Structure 1
Amino acid sequence: MSNTHLFMKSGHIKTPLQNGLGRFIPQLQRITFKFCKSRGGSRGVRDFIESDLMDFAIKNPGTAIYLKPQRHRSGIMVAEYLNGEKEHLSCHHFNKEEVFKWLSYLTTRSGIPAMRFHKYQHTDYPSIQGVWTPFTHQAPEINVAQFPHEILSKPVNLQPTATDTLLEIFKRTQIKESSEKPEN
Protein backbone atom coordinates (compact mmCIF):
# COMPACT_ATOMS: atom_id res chain seq x y z
CA MET A 1 0.00 0.00 0.00
CA SER A 2 1.36 3.40 -0.89
CA ASN A 3 1.42 6.42 1.37
CA THR A 4 0.09 8.88 -1.20
CA HIS A 5 -3.23 9.01 0.65
CA LEU A 6 -1.45 10.76 3.54
CA PHE A 7 -0.97 13.90 1.44
CA MET A 8 -4.50 14.05 0.05
CA LYS A 9 -7.26 16.17 1.51
CA SER A 10 -9.91 14.21 3.34
CA GLY A 11 -13.65 14.74 3.58
CA HIS A 12 -17.08 13.46 2.64
CA ILE A 13 -18.74 13.22 -0.77
CA LYS A 14 -20.25 16.56 -1.77
CA THR A 15 -22.47 17.48 -4.66
CA PRO A 16 -22.04 21.06 -5.88
CA LEU A 17 -25.28 22.99 -5.34
CA GLN A 18 -27.39 19.80 -5.42
CA ASN A 19 -26.42 19.55 -9.08
CA GLY A 20 -28.72 17.31 -11.11
CA LEU A 21 -31.77 17.58 -8.85
CA GLY A 22 -33.46 20.38 -10.79
CA ARG A 23 -31.35 20.78 -13.88
CA PHE A 24 -27.74 19.97 -14.61
CA ILE A 25 -25.28 22.86 -14.44
CA PRO A 26 -21.91 22.12 -16.09
CA GLN A 27 -19.19 22.91 -13.57
CA LEU A 28 -16.44 23.71 -16.11
CA GLN A 29 -16.41 27.48 -16.37
CA ARG A 30 -13.45 28.06 -18.67
CA ILE A 31 -10.80 26.05 -20.48
CA THR A 32 -7.52 27.58 -21.65
CA PHE A 33 -5.32 25.90 -24.26
CA LYS A 34 -1.68 27.01 -24.04
CA PHE A 35 0.41 25.81 -26.98
CA CYS A 36 3.31 26.64 -29.25
CA LYS A 37 2.64 27.30 -32.94
CA SER A 38 5.78 25.47 -34.07
CA ARG A 39 6.97 23.08 -31.34
CA GLY A 40 6.40 19.33 -31.88
CA GLY A 41 5.16 18.72 -28.33
CA SER A 42 2.10 20.89 -29.01
CA ARG A 43 1.16 19.13 -32.26
CA GLY A 44 -1.85 17.25 -30.77
CA VAL A 45 -3.28 20.42 -29.23
CA ARG A 46 -2.91 22.27 -32.53
CA ASP A 47 -4.58 19.43 -34.44
CA PHE A 48 -7.44 19.39 -31.93
CA ILE A 49 -7.90 23.15 -32.24
CA GLU A 50 -7.98 22.97 -36.04
CA SER A 51 -10.41 20.06 -36.33
CA ASP A 52 -12.52 19.47 -33.20
CA LEU A 53 -12.60 22.68 -31.17
CA MET A 54 -15.66 24.14 -32.93
CA ASP A 55 -17.67 20.95 -32.27
CA PHE A 56 -16.68 21.10 -28.60
CA ALA A 57 -17.67 24.78 -28.39
CA ILE A 58 -21.09 24.06 -29.93
CA LYS A 59 -21.75 21.16 -27.55
CA ASN A 60 -20.63 23.15 -24.47
CA PRO A 61 -22.02 26.69 -24.81
CA GLY A 62 -21.57 27.42 -21.08
CA THR A 63 -17.80 26.93 -21.21
CA ALA A 64 -15.53 29.80 -22.22
CA ILE A 65 -12.62 28.68 -24.41
CA TYR A 66 -9.37 30.60 -24.55
CA LEU A 67 -6.43 29.95 -26.91
CA LYS A 68 -3.08 31.22 -25.69
CA PRO A 69 -0.12 30.67 -28.04
CA GLN A 70 3.22 30.71 -26.21
CA ARG A 71 6.66 30.34 -27.77
CA HIS A 72 8.78 27.27 -27.07
CA ARG A 73 6.31 25.64 -24.66
CA SER A 74 4.56 22.29 -24.81
CA GLY A 75 0.78 22.12 -24.74
CA ILE A 76 -1.15 22.67 -21.51
CA MET A 77 -4.87 22.68 -20.72
CA VAL A 78 -6.00 24.77 -17.75
CA ALA A 79 -9.52 24.04 -16.53
CA GLU A 80 -11.26 26.48 -14.20
CA TYR A 81 -14.42 25.40 -12.37
CA LEU A 82 -17.33 27.27 -10.81
CA ASN A 83 -16.09 26.54 -7.29
CA GLY A 84 -12.81 28.38 -8.02
CA GLU A 85 -10.60 25.32 -8.43
CA LYS A 86 -8.03 25.19 -11.25
CA GLU A 87 -6.55 22.09 -12.82
CA HIS A 88 -3.48 22.12 -15.05
CA LEU A 89 -2.92 19.22 -17.44
CA SER A 90 0.24 18.84 -19.51
CA CYS A 91 -0.47 17.72 -23.09
CA HIS A 92 3.16 17.12 -24.04
CA HIS A 93 3.24 14.84 -27.12
CA PHE A 94 -0.51 14.08 -26.95
CA ASN A 95 -2.31 13.33 -30.19
CA LYS A 96 -5.66 14.97 -30.88
CA GLU A 97 -7.65 11.91 -29.65
CA GLU A 98 -5.88 12.03 -26.29
CA VAL A 99 -6.51 15.77 -26.04
CA PHE A 100 -10.20 15.14 -26.73
CA LYS A 101 -10.40 12.36 -24.10
CA TRP A 102 -8.77 14.50 -21.43
CA LEU A 103 -10.94 17.45 -22.36
CA SER A 104 -14.09 15.35 -21.97
CA TYR A 105 -12.75 14.16 -18.60
CA LEU A 106 -12.22 17.76 -17.46
CA THR A 107 -15.67 18.71 -18.76
CA THR A 108 -17.49 16.05 -16.76
CA ARG A 109 -15.66 16.70 -13.47
CA SER A 110 -17.16 18.78 -10.69
CA GLY A 111 -13.92 20.59 -9.87
CA ILE A 112 -13.79 19.18 -6.35
CA PRO A 113 -10.21 17.98 -5.84
CA ALA A 114 -9.56 14.27 -5.41
CA MET A 115 -9.77 13.40 -1.75
CA ARG A 116 -9.62 10.55 0.69
CA PHE A 117 -13.14 9.80 1.93
CA HIS A 118 -14.10 9.42 5.57
CA LYS A 119 -16.20 6.49 6.63
CA TYR A 120 -19.45 7.24 8.45
CA GLN A 121 -18.64 4.62 11.10
CA HIS A 122 -15.62 4.42 13.35
CA THR A 123 -14.39 1.72 15.69
CA ASP A 124 -11.31 1.50 17.86
CA TYR A 125 -11.02 -2.24 17.13
CA PRO A 126 -11.49 -2.83 13.39
CA SER A 127 -12.21 -6.35 12.20
CA ILE A 128 -9.32 -8.42 10.92
CA GLN A 129 -11.62 -11.01 9.36
CA GLY A 130 -12.53 -9.07 6.26
CA VAL A 131 -15.85 -8.08 4.80
CA TRP A 132 -18.82 -10.42 5.20
CA THR A 133 -21.02 -11.13 2.18
CA PRO A 134 -24.01 -13.47 1.81
CA PHE A 135 -21.74 -15.83 -0.14
CA THR A 136 -19.03 -16.07 2.53
CA HIS A 137 -19.98 -19.47 3.98
CA GLN A 138 -21.57 -21.07 0.90
CA ALA A 139 -20.47 -24.43 -0.45
CA PRO A 140 -17.91 -24.07 -3.26
CA GLU A 141 -19.73 -26.72 -5.33
CA ILE A 142 -22.38 -24.11 -6.12
CA ASN A 143 -19.90 -22.28 -8.37
CA VAL A 144 -19.79 -25.04 -10.97
CA ALA A 145 -23.17 -26.77 -10.44
CA GLN A 146 -25.86 -26.96 -13.11
CA PHE A 147 -29.27 -26.26 -11.61
CA PRO A 148 -31.65 -27.92 -10.88
CA HIS A 149 -29.21 -30.14 -9.00
CA GLU A 150 -30.43 -33.25 -7.13
CA ILE A 151 -28.20 -32.99 -4.08
CA LEU A 152 -27.92 -29.21 -3.75
CA SER A 153 -31.64 -28.64 -4.30
CA LYS A 154 -32.64 -30.82 -1.32
CA PRO A 155 -33.76 -28.86 1.71
CA VAL A 156 -31.00 -28.56 4.28
CA ASN A 157 -33.27 -28.44 7.34
CA LEU A 158 -35.00 -31.84 7.53
CA GLN A 159 -36.74 -31.08 10.83
CA PRO A 160 -40.43 -30.21 10.54
CA THR A 161 -41.28 -26.53 10.78
CA ALA A 162 -43.37 -25.10 13.60
CA THR A 163 -46.36 -24.89 11.27
CA ASP A 164 -46.00 -28.56 10.32
CA THR A 165 -45.80 -29.49 14.02
CA LEU A 166 -48.94 -27.50 14.87
CA LEU A 167 -50.86 -29.04 11.96
CA GLU A 168 -49.84 -32.52 13.10
CA ILE A 169 -50.99 -31.79 16.67
CA PHE A 170 -54.28 -30.42 15.33
CA LYS A 171 -54.87 -33.54 13.21
CA ARG A 172 -54.15 -35.85 16.16
CA THR A 173 -56.57 -33.96 18.38
CA GLN A 174 -59.25 -34.10 15.66
CA ILE A 175 -58.81 -37.84 15.27
CA LYS A 176 -58.81 -38.33 19.05
CA GLU A 177 -61.98 -36.24 19.48
CA SER A 178 -63.78 -38.10 16.69
CA SER A 179 -62.90 -41.49 18.19
CA GLU A 180 -64.03 -40.46 21.70
CA LYS A 181 -67.41 -39.16 20.50
CA PRO A 182 -70.19 -41.54 21.42
CA GLU A 183 -72.29 -42.55 18.48
CA ASN A 184 -76.05 -42.27 19.05
Structure 2
Amino acid sequence: MSKTHLYLRTGFPRAPLANGLGRYMCQVKRITIKFCKSHGSSRGVRDFIETDMIDFVKQNPEFVLYLKPRRHHSPHLIAEYLNGEKFHMSFHNFNREEISKWVNLMKTRAGAPIMAYRKLGHTDNPSIQGVWSPFANQDTSLNVTSFPNEKLSRKFQTEPTATELLLEMFKKQQLEDSEANESKEEESK
Protein backbone atom coordinates (compact mmCIF):
# COMPACT_ATOMS: atom_id res chain seq x y z
CA MET A 1 0.00 0.00 0.00
CA SER A 2 1.35 3.44 -0.84
CA LYS A 3 1.94 6.34 1.52
CA THR A 4 -1.02 8.29 0.09
CA HIS A 5 -3.47 5.97 1.83
CA LEU A 6 -1.94 6.11 5.31
CA TYR A 7 -4.20 8.83 6.70
CA LEU A 8 -7.44 8.09 4.82
CA ARG A 9 -10.29 6.18 6.35
CA THR A 10 -10.73 2.75 4.83
CA GLY A 11 -13.81 0.66 4.39
CA PHE A 12 -16.70 0.09 2.05
CA PRO A 13 -19.15 2.81 0.94
CA ARG A 14 -22.70 2.70 2.25
CA ALA A 15 -25.71 4.85 1.45
CA PRO A 16 -26.09 7.34 4.30
CA LEU A 17 -29.34 6.82 6.24
CA ALA A 18 -30.56 4.48 3.45
CA ASN A 19 -30.95 7.53 1.24
CA GLY A 20 -32.73 6.84 -2.03
CA LEU A 21 -34.58 3.74 -0.80
CA GLY A 22 -37.67 5.79 -0.06
CA ARG A 23 -37.52 9.39 -1.11
CA TYR A 24 -34.38 11.44 -1.69
CA MET A 25 -33.27 13.53 1.25
CA CYS A 26 -30.61 16.19 0.82
CA GLN A 27 -27.71 15.28 3.12
CA VAL A 28 -26.37 18.79 3.64
CA LYS A 29 -27.82 20.46 6.73
CA ARG A 30 -26.10 23.83 6.72
CA ILE A 31 -23.62 25.75 4.58
CA THR A 32 -21.83 28.70 6.15
CA ILE A 33 -19.78 31.11 4.04
CA LYS A 34 -17.46 33.42 5.96
CA PHE A 35 -16.02 36.41 4.11
CA CYS A 36 -14.69 39.94 4.49
CA LYS A 37 -16.70 42.90 3.21
CA SER A 38 -13.62 44.82 2.08
CA HIS A 39 -10.72 42.38 1.61
CA GLY A 40 -9.64 41.69 -1.99
CA SER A 41 -9.54 37.92 -1.65
CA SER A 42 -13.28 37.92 -0.88
CA ARG A 43 -14.28 39.62 -4.14
CA GLY A 44 -15.54 36.39 -5.74
CA VAL A 45 -17.66 35.59 -2.67
CA ARG A 46 -19.17 39.08 -2.71
CA ASP A 47 -19.96 38.70 -6.44
CA PHE A 48 -21.57 35.31 -5.75
CA ILE A 49 -23.71 36.86 -2.99
CA GLU A 50 -24.82 39.76 -5.20
CA THR A 51 -25.66 37.75 -8.32
CA ASP A 52 -26.26 34.05 -7.64
CA MET A 53 -27.11 33.57 -3.97
CA ILE A 54 -30.79 34.62 -4.01
CA ASP A 55 -31.64 32.26 -6.91
CA PHE A 56 -29.61 29.46 -5.32
CA VAL A 57 -31.44 29.78 -1.99
CA LYS A 58 -34.86 29.89 -3.69
CA GLN A 59 -34.07 26.71 -5.66
CA ASN A 60 -32.77 24.88 -2.56
CA PRO A 61 -35.10 25.39 0.43
CA GLU A 62 -34.06 22.05 1.99
CA PHE A 63 -31.00 23.47 3.75
CA VAL A 64 -29.79 26.72 5.27
CA LEU A 65 -27.14 29.02 3.79
CA TYR A 66 -25.54 31.33 6.33
CA LEU A 67 -23.37 34.35 5.47
CA LYS A 68 -20.99 35.57 8.15
CA PRO A 69 -18.96 38.70 7.46
CA ARG A 70 -15.61 38.54 9.28
CA ARG A 71 -13.35 41.56 9.11
CA HIS A 72 -9.86 40.95 7.66
CA HIS A 73 -10.28 37.17 7.24
CA SER A 74 -9.83 35.04 4.17
CA PRO A 75 -13.13 33.64 2.83
CA HIS A 76 -14.02 30.03 3.45
CA LEU A 77 -16.96 27.62 3.40
CA ILE A 78 -18.12 25.19 6.08
CA ALA A 79 -20.61 22.50 5.03
CA GLU A 80 -22.31 20.46 7.77
CA TYR A 81 -24.04 17.17 6.93
CA LEU A 82 -26.72 15.05 8.61
CA ASN A 83 -24.22 12.35 9.56
CA GLY A 84 -22.24 14.86 11.66
CA GLU A 85 -19.38 15.39 9.20
CA LYS A 86 -18.05 18.89 8.48
CA PHE A 87 -16.18 19.99 5.39
CA HIS A 88 -14.03 23.15 5.36
CA MET A 89 -12.78 24.82 2.19
CA SER A 90 -10.90 28.04 1.57
CA PHE A 91 -12.29 30.41 -1.09
CA HIS A 92 -9.17 32.60 -1.18
CA ASN A 93 -9.13 34.47 -4.54
CA PHE A 94 -11.86 32.29 -6.09
CA ASN A 95 -14.10 33.85 -8.74
CA ARG A 96 -17.92 33.75 -8.76
CA GLU A 97 -18.21 30.75 -11.12
CA GLU A 98 -15.80 28.62 -9.06
CA ILE A 99 -17.65 29.41 -5.86
CA SER A 100 -20.97 28.54 -7.47
CA LYS A 101 -19.59 25.17 -8.63
CA TRP A 102 -18.17 24.34 -5.19
CA VAL A 103 -21.38 25.29 -3.38
CA ASN A 104 -23.36 23.06 -5.78
CA LEU A 105 -20.90 20.22 -5.12
CA MET A 106 -21.28 20.60 -1.36
CA LYS A 107 -25.07 20.54 -1.82
CA THR A 108 -25.02 17.25 -3.75
CA ARG A 109 -22.42 15.40 -1.64
CA ALA A 110 -23.56 12.80 0.85
CA GLY A 111 -21.19 14.02 3.55
CA ALA A 112 -19.43 10.69 3.72
CA PRO A 113 -15.74 11.08 4.48
CA ILE A 114 -13.30 10.54 1.65
CA MET A 115 -11.95 7.03 2.08
CA ALA A 116 -9.67 4.58 0.36
CA TYR A 117 -11.67 1.61 -0.86
CA ARG A 118 -10.20 -1.76 0.00
CA LYS A 119 -9.61 -4.41 -2.59
CA LEU A 120 -10.40 -8.02 -1.83
CA GLY A 121 -7.02 -9.21 -3.07
CA HIS A 122 -3.45 -8.04 -2.67
CA THR A 123 -0.27 -8.77 -4.56
CA ASP A 124 3.32 -7.68 -4.07
CA ASN A 125 3.90 -7.61 -7.83
CA PRO A 126 0.96 -5.91 -9.52
CA SER A 127 0.47 -6.30 -13.27
CA ILE A 128 2.06 -3.68 -15.50
CA GLN A 129 -0.39 -4.44 -18.32
CA GLY A 130 -3.25 -2.49 -16.80
CA VAL A 131 -6.88 -3.35 -16.39
CA TRP A 132 -8.41 -5.70 -18.97
CA SER A 133 -11.20 -4.32 -21.11
CA PRO A 134 -13.47 -6.12 -23.61
CA PHE A 135 -12.35 -3.55 -26.19
CA ALA A 136 -8.65 -4.36 -25.74
CA ASN A 137 -8.18 -6.61 -28.80
CA GLN A 138 -10.86 -5.22 -31.12
CA ASP A 139 -10.20 -4.35 -34.76
CA THR A 140 -9.21 -0.67 -34.96
CA SER A 141 -11.17 -0.12 -38.20
CA LEU A 142 -14.32 -0.08 -36.04
CA ASN A 143 -13.17 3.28 -34.64
CA VAL A 144 -13.93 5.04 -37.92
CA THR A 145 -16.91 2.93 -39.05
CA SER A 146 -20.27 4.63 -39.33
CA PHE A 147 -23.20 2.70 -37.90
CA PRO A 148 -25.51 1.04 -38.84
CA ASN A 149 -23.15 -0.91 -41.10
CA GLU A 150 -24.52 -3.49 -43.57
CA LYS A 151 -21.37 -5.61 -43.48
CA LEU A 152 -21.49 -5.98 -39.70
CA SER A 153 -25.25 -6.50 -39.46
CA ARG A 154 -25.29 -9.10 -42.28
CA LYS A 155 -23.31 -11.45 -40.06
CA PHE A 156 -26.18 -11.63 -37.61
CA GLN A 157 -28.89 -11.87 -40.28
CA THR A 158 -27.53 -15.08 -41.86
CA GLU A 159 -27.72 -17.09 -38.63
CA PRO A 160 -31.27 -17.91 -37.45
CA THR A 161 -32.12 -16.89 -33.94
CA ALA A 162 -33.04 -19.39 -31.23
CA THR A 163 -36.69 -18.32 -31.46
CA GLU A 164 -36.74 -18.93 -35.20
CA LEU A 165 -35.19 -22.40 -34.70
CA LEU A 166 -37.83 -23.31 -32.10
CA LEU A 167 -40.67 -22.12 -34.35
CA GLU A 168 -39.28 -24.16 -37.22
CA MET A 169 -39.03 -27.29 -35.04
CA PHE A 170 -42.62 -26.74 -33.82
CA LYS A 171 -43.94 -26.44 -37.39
CA LYS A 172 -42.13 -29.65 -38.40
CA GLN A 173 -43.60 -31.47 -35.41
CA GLN A 174 -47.12 -30.25 -36.30
CA LEU A 175 -46.65 -31.38 -39.90
CA GLU A 176 -45.49 -34.84 -38.79
CA ASP A 177 -48.42 -35.14 -36.36
CA SER A 178 -50.96 -34.14 -39.02
CA GLU A 179 -49.46 -36.63 -41.53
CA ALA A 180 -49.57 -39.39 -38.91
CA ASN A 181 -53.23 -38.60 -38.16
CA GLU A 182 -54.12 -38.67 -41.88
CA SER A 183 -52.44 -42.07 -42.33
CA LYS A 184 -54.32 -43.49 -39.32
CA GLU A 185 -57.62 -42.22 -40.74
CA GLU A 186 -56.92 -43.86 -44.13
CA GLU A 187 -56.06 -47.19 -42.47
CA SER A 188 -59.22 -47.15 -40.41
CA LYS A 189 -61.36 -46.70 -43.55
Q: Do Structure 1 and Structure 2 share a fold, with TM-score over 0.5?
A: yes
Q: Relative to 1, partners in 2 of residues 1:118 and 1:71: Cα closer, same or farther, differing over 3 Å? A: same
Deviation at 1:3, TM superposition (A): 2.5
Deviation at 1:65, TM superposition (A): 1.4
**Which amino acid counterpart does residue 8 of structure 1 have in structure 2?**
L
Could you say which residue in structure 2 is the equivalent of 1:171? none
Deviation at 1:135, TM superposition (A): 4.7
Q: Deviation per CA, 1:10-65, whole angstroms, max 9, x where unpaired?
A: 11011112211211100110000100010000011111111111111111111111
Q: Relative to 1, partners in 2 of residues 1:78 and 1:123: Cα closer, same or farther, differing over 3 Å? A: closer
**Which amino acid counterpart does residue 40 of structure 1 have in structure 2?**
G
> Could you tell me how far apart the structure 2 residues matched to 1:110 and 1:91 are?
21
TM-score norm. by structure 1 comes to 0.70
Q: Deviation per CA, 1:105-161, whole angstroms, max 9, x where unpaired?
A: 111100011100112x3356776365444455x4x6x21266738xxx8xxxxxxxx
> Could you tell me how far apart the structure 2 residues matched to 1:91 and 1:6 are?
27
Alignment of 1:21-100 (within 5 A): 21-100=21-100
**Which amino acid counterpart does residue 62 of structure 2 have in structure 1?**
G
1:143 to 140, 148, 151: 140
> Could you tell me how far apart the structure 2 residues matched to 1:94 and 1:21 are?
37
> Could you tell me how far apart the structure 2 residues matched to 1:62 and 1:17 are?
17
Mind listing any 5+ residue stretches in structure 2 that lack a counterpart? Answer: 156-189
Mind listing any 5+ residue stretches in structure 1 that lack a counterpart? Answer: 154-184
Q: Deviation per CA, 1:68-97, whole angstroms, max 9, x where unpaired?
A: 111111111110000011111100111111
Which is richer in helix? Answer: 2
**Is 1:111 the equivalent of 2:111?**
yes
- Overall identity of the aligned pairs, in %: 50
Q: Relative to 1, partners in 2 of residues 1:38 and 1:116: Cα closer, same or farther, differing over 3 Å? A: same
How many pairs does the alignment contain? 146
